[in-house]
Amino acid sequence: MRDLEQHAAALKLRAKSDEERDEERAEGQRQNERHAANTRERGTLLEEQVAALHTQLSQCEEQRKEEQLQIERAGAREAKLEHQVEVLSAQLLKVEEKGADDERQRVCALARERDLGEQLNALHMQLAQEKEEGGRQRE
């Protein structure tokens, strides 16, 4: 009987130890499940962050493209304005040259007018002298 009692005690001890192992396994399993849930949650958060970063990157790329278009448009406007400046500069030069020609012509016309005036005065004086001589000869 004593053997039976010892055997029963050993079985109880083993049963108790099996229960403790089962409980430890269950606790380990719960910890693994919590860890897996936390890992999934962190993974979901990281995926959301990656998606948000991709969105920001796309927006930055779109903004960069728009800024590049604006730079190109500004360059085209600048080239157009430079061309207009060149055209206007050429026109101004022509106007200045025409003005210089006009001034030379005006100065020449004034000189001719003065010369003609002097010639007219000389002719008037000559006519007056001839009249005077003609009047003396008649007398």
Residue tagged 């089962």 (tokens): 22
pTM of the model: 0.48
pLDDT of amino acid 24: 82
Residue range 11-24, pLDDT digits in tens:
676 766 667 778 88
The percentage of residues in the chain with a pLDDT greater than 70, rounded to a whole number, is 92
Residue range 58-91, pLDDT digits in tens:
999 999 999 999 999 999 999 999 999 999 999 9
What would the mean pLDDT of 126-134 be, rounded to a whole number?
85
Does the structure show a pLDDT above 90 at 132?
Answer: no
pLDDT of amino acid 21: 77
pLDDT of amino acid 3: 79
- The tokens describing 99, both together, are 């003005």
Q: Which residue has the higher pLDDT, 59 or 9?
A: 59
pLDDT of amino acid 138: 63
Compute the distance between CA of residue 124 and CA of residue 112 in angstroms, rounded to an integer: 18
Compute the distance between CA of residue 99 and CA of residue 93 in angstroms, rounded to an integer: 10
